[in-house]
Structure 1
Amino acid sequence: MQKIAVFVDVQNIYYTTRQTYGRQFNYRKLWQHLLLQGDVVTAYAYAIDKGDNQQRKFQDALKHIGFDVKLKPFIQRSDGSAKGDWDVGITIDVLQVAESVDTVVLLSGDGDFAILLDTIKARHQVRAEVYGVPALTANALINSATVFNPIYEDFLL
């Protein structure tokens, strides 16, 4: 049985599915789909904590499905801009897990992860699957993936 590790860039998936389809991603359907492929041994969902109740309910739902939810506080800068991404955290976790699994699944459209996928494929000979909204996923990330799984309506609520 294939060992699968899943890493979700929650903010990226939320905004890309909302922008493209006006709908939310169906994490339960993804989980069921992945279980048909193998054993999900690690599953992290990386989110920004703004402290509101609706967000906590969503995070609890992710935990109930089987995700370990990692939170980072939302930071509002004095100039009005905001900071809150998990790129480094996701990268570190993927690098730590890649040697012990057969497949790394990344949900994101962020092209910054392309070099990460190239690295884990070369060092650990793992499959690198990406799920992303086609129009909003960087070509570099699509090209670095062993398999690109486009998020269409069938993966939405």
Structure 2
Amino acid sequence: MNKIAVFADVQNIYYTTRQAYGKQFNYRKLWQQLEQQGDIVSAYAYAIERGDNQQKKFQDVLTHLGFEVKLKPFIQRSDGTAKGDWDVGITIDIMETAPQVDTIILLSGDGDFAILFDKVKQAYGVKTEAYGVPKLTAKALIDASTVFHPIEGELLL
């Protein structure tokens, strides 16, 4: 059976689906689709902790679906800018998980992950799949993916 690991860049998916469609991503529908593709052996959702009740409810839904939610504190800099980036954490988790699975699935449109996809395909022979909003997903990530899944239709709420 196809062993699958899922990695969701929650902030990226939230903002790109909202910007492109004014809608939210349907994690429940995604989970149902992935269960038909194989055995989901691990699933991580990376988010920023803002101490918001609505956000906590959403994180509970993700946990109920089967995701392990990883939180990083929201950092407000003195110059007014904010930081809340999980790229390094996602990369480490994918590198550690890739030798144990057949398929790596990433929910993000961030082109920085293209190099990572190329590396895990070469080093571990895994299939790489990315889910992203087509017009907001980096071409480099689409090209580095074995399969690119456009976020549209039933994957939107």
Shorter chain as normaliser: what TM range? Answer: over 0.9
Q: Which residue matches 2:146?
A: 146
* Root-mean-square deviation (Å): 0.4
Tell me the distance in 1 between the aligned counterparts of 2:87 and 2:100. 21
Aligned twin of 1:95: 95
Alpha-carbon separation, structure 2, partners of 1:141 and 1:52 = 31
- Give the unaligned 5+ runs of structure 2: none
Q: Hey, what's the Cα distance between the residues in 2 that align with 1:49 and 1:23?
A: 21
Structure 2 Cα separation of the partners of residues 149 and 6 of structure 1: 14
Deviation of residue 102 (structure 1)?
Answer: 0.2
Q: TM-score, normalised by structure 1?
A: 0.99
1:9 — aligned with what?
A: 9
Supply the distance in 1 between the matched residues of 2:131 and 2:55 (Cα, whole angstroms): 22
- CA–CA separation in structure 2 for the residues paired with 1:21 and 1:103: 28
Q: Which residue of 2 aligns with 1:52?
A: 52
Q: Counterparts in 2 of 1:62-77, with a 5 A limit?
A: 62-77=62-77
1:123 corresponds to which letter in structure 2? A
Partner of 2:32: 32
Cα offsets for 1:35-79 (capped at 9, x unmatched): 000000000000000001000000000000000000000000000
**Distance in 2 separating the partners of 1:27 and 1:21:** 16
Instruction: Number of aligned residue pairs: give it.
Output: 157
**In 2: Cα distance, 1:98 partner to 1:52 partner:** 33
Give the deviation of 1:153 after TM superposition.
2.2
Q: Give me the identity figure in percent.
A: 71
Name 1:61's counterpart in structure 2. 61
Q: Post-superposition, which runs of at least 4 consecutive aligned residues in structure 1 deviate over 6 A? A: none
- Alpha-carbon distance in structure 2 between the residues aligned to 1:23 and 1:67: 21
Deviation larger for 91-100 or 146-155: 146-155
Gaps of 5+ in 1: none
1:112 aligns with 2:122: no
- Which position in structure 2 is the counterpart of 1:125? 125
> What is the TM-score with the length of structure 2 in the denominator?
0.99
